[in-house]
Structures are given as structure tokens and as C-alpha cells.
Structure 1
Amino acid sequence: MAVSSYMTDAIKIDVWSDIACPWCYIGKRNLETGLAEVAGDADAPRVEVTYHSYELSPDTPVDFEGDQTEYLVQHKGISREQALEMAARVTDVARDAGLDYHFDNLKHTNTVKAHELVHFAKEKGLQGSMKERLLSAHFVEGRHVGRIDDLVELAVEIGLDADEAREALISEKYVEAVRADEEQARAYGINGVPFFVIDGKYGISGAQPPAAFSQIARQVWAEHQGEPAAV
């Protein structure tokens, strides 16, 4: 009976990422594409994905004065030419993943409140939807994702209660959860995102292609079945 119970366990994928990380949205979409591929397998893996907080630039003000290029120059210490090249490159990679980035409209901001909102949404069973809405709002639509009023609007769009969302953000109820995620990231030695932890034992760093995620999903699912993974 114990073996049968174990075989039905879902693969746990824990994802550390930041709302302000363009590679994190690409990584999220590639993960979803890879998992969609294995969903058609005769013995499709069961997967549970959980998102965790990671702030790349916690010192960024809520209302950053400047555009994407100025942000990269200030925070990366690179030239304007290099910043423009970086933005163009990530826009091309995002397009390949099916994402339409608009860095010219992007509003840089502090992301701690957005992370708090993701934790609030998790409690309501809508974490994945909230994460997706925030990333799309930030990179595709050029909406502000650092101010409470703007965040509440996005929460309502996915079906969360406005008053409850506002209270959660004002009270800072979920700040401790954000800090716990970041502490776990440090314990794992994560110093860049996106970072994917599979079943607590395999780590995947960066926005890997969909095939990398489908491969690891099949491998780990075979381990759950007590079978050797196909090569």
C-alpha cells in the first residue's frame, strides 16, 4: 500500500522568481510549455507548481524615475548601448516563448507588495493566476505593480476580493512569508532567478527551453514509479 500511495504523489516544482525579472516570465512560460508536452504522455506526470518570492533589487523605489535603459545603467553598471542590446535580446527570446514584451512602457518599481499579493492569492487558491497576471501587467501591458491601488485592481481581475486584498497589503500580513521564501533561497544557495527545485532534490537554473522541463518531468515521474528513466 505504501508503494501505491507513493506512486500517486505529484512531482513538486518550487519556483523562485521575481515579478521584475524578464527571464522569470520566460522561464514560467517555458515550464508550462514543457509540462503541456508531457501531459499528452500515456502515463502523464502529475505536477504541482508553487511560486516563491525573490527580490532582485529590493532597494528599488516604488516609483522609479526613469526608463528601462536608465534602470539597467544604474543597477547593472553598464552603458546605454549595452542596456539597449540587453533589452532587445530578451525581447527576442520572450517572443520565441510567445510573450510580447514592451520595455518602452515598463514601469520599474519595488516588488515586495507584488510578492505579498502572490502569497495572499495562494491562500485563496489563485497563486498561479496572480503570478501570471502580475508578470503580464508588468512586461506586456506596462502597468504599475508596486502600488497598492494598482495591485488591488489586478487582484480583482483574477477574482479576488478587493477589500481583502487591500487589507492584506496594508497590514503587511504576508511580508513574513516573503522573507521566509527569501531565506529558503539563501539556504539553497540560490543567487539568481528563475530557479526551479524539483522534488526538493534537483535544481534547474535559468529560463531553460521547454524540452529541459519535459525531460526532467519524465525522469522524476519515472523515479516516482520506481522505474528507470528513459534516455
Structure 2
Amino acid sequence: MPHSVTVQIVVDVICAHSYPGYTRFARAADRLRGEGLEIAVEFLPFELAPGASAEGRPLLDVLEQTFGPGAVTGALAFAERAVGEGLRFEYATAIATGTFEAHRLIADAARQNKAEPMTERLFRAHFTDGLHIGDPAVLAELAAEVGVATGSVPPAAVRARLDRVRRHGITGVPVFLIEDLPPLTGSQTETTVLTALRQAASRKEHHDR
């Protein structure tokens, strides 16, 4: 088995489809890591609402005002389905906010090899814990919880990465870029991700011979 498979994941931590999508990826990756495959993960930032205020507003109110009452019904139905995967979407307490500083925190975490636990914690903070992940004080607490030192990544570096993602034509998330395989877009099943990771590993092993 090759030494490592590289995966780039494009997500936003306020994206309802990104949370289960990333969770399924993480479960598949854990299985293969248990078999001895090293999987290097890089997160690429994407803002669902570029330039959105970080003040924070009740998410259900924002969904209704932006997309109409059907969006609230759809979100609550999505939350019910997520329970089957062990995820809790507490929309009644979720807070809509900009995510620029959350992406900056993930970039800080990446420099300390903690991007995966930091990203998972941000998803859970937003969707389950009702925390305002646009609030610097909340982000500082979450960083401390995961053991991430902050402030090493300048804002300009995050803006450059956001621009890079846009230039690549990515307009929705999640997207999983696994080695040279075609991109996996949207919230894939764990089986699909597992198959893609195995395929990438097999290709790399064959190429290295």
C-alpha cells in the first residue's frame, strides 16, 4: 500500500451538506488509516455567504427571510434524517454568521496538524451546540479546546485561498479532490468515499512500481 493518499476537501462549516459529507469522509478515512494507509488532508475554504456579517442572527429566521418558509421545513427534515448518522442538527439554536475567521482558524490548525479535529469541532459548534462561530471569543475557546495556537495565518492568505477556489470554478460544497480522480461533489456516501480512496491508493501503488 502506498505511503500516502492526498485529499483536498472544500467545505464551509455552516454548510448543512458539508457536515455529513465530511463526517462520512472522516469515517472512511479512519477505516483505511486503520489498515495502514496514510491520508493527508488539506482543507480549502469556501464561503456560502461571502462578506456576510459576523454579528450572528438566528439561522431559521435567516433561512425563512432569504429562501421562504419551505427552507425551514426542508432544514428540519434534513435534521431528522441526520439523526440516523449520529449527527445532531439543532436548528432552533443555530446562529447564522460569516465564516471567514473560522476558515482562518482551520488554516492555523493545519499548520499544527490539527485541521481535521478543528474542522469537526467547528461543524459541531455551529450545528449542534448553537455557538456563534463568527464571534472571536467563541473561536478562541474552540481553538483552546482543540489545542490550536491562533494568529499565525494572516487574513490575506485566507483571501488568496478563497480566490483560488473560486478561480477553479467551485460554486458549491462539499467537494472532495482525491489525488487525480474526478472530483466528488456533494455529500457522498461513506461507501463511495471509501471506494474512491481505495482506487486512488491502488493507482498510486501501481504507478510507484
The TM-score with structure 1 as length reference comes to 0.82
Among 159, 164, 170, the residue aligned to 2:147: 159
1:50 equivalent to 2:39? Answer: no
- Does residue 64 of structure 2 align to residue 73 of structure 1? yes
Shift of 1:200: 4.6
Q: Which residue does the alignment assign to 2:131? A: 143
1:1-231 matched pairs, under 5 angstroms = 8-39=2-33, 44-65=36-57, 67-75=58-66, 78-80=67-69, 82-161=70-149, 165=150, 168=151, 173-226=153-206
Closer/same/farther in 2, CA of residues 194 and 70 from structure 1, 3 Å limit: same
Q: CA RMSD in A?
A: 2.0
Q: Runs ≥4 in structure 1, deviation > 6 angstroms?
A: none
- SS for the counterpart of 2:17 is helix
Instruction: Find the structure with the greater CA-based Rg.
Output: 1
Gaps of 5+ in 2: none
Q: 2:56·2:132 contact (CA, 8 Å) conserved in 1? A: no
Kindly tell me the number of residue pairs found equivalent between the two proteins: 207
Give me the whole-angstrom Cα distance separating, in 1, the residues matched to 2:65 and 2:8.
Answer: 31
Q: Secondary structure at the match of 1:21?
A: coil
SS at match of 1:14: strand
Identity of aligned residues (%): 27
What is the DSSP-based 3-state SS (H/G/I as helix, E as strand, rest coil) of the residue aligned with 1:197? strand
- Distance in 2, matches of 1:99 and 1:70, equals 22
For the structure 1 residues 225 and 112, does the alpha-carbon distance in structure 2 shift closer, same or farther, using more than 3 Å as the test? same
Cα deviations across residues 70-128 of structure 1 (Å, max 9, x unaligned)? 211333xx321x12221123213322322111010101111111111111111122111
Distance in 1 between residues matched to 2:31 and 2:113, nearest whole Å: 24
Give the Cα separation in 2 of the matches to 1:131 and 1:208: 18
- Residue 60 of structure 1 and its aligned partner are, at CA, apart by 2.1
Cα deviation for residue 13 of structure 1 reads: 0.7
Distance 1:224 1:113 in 2: 36
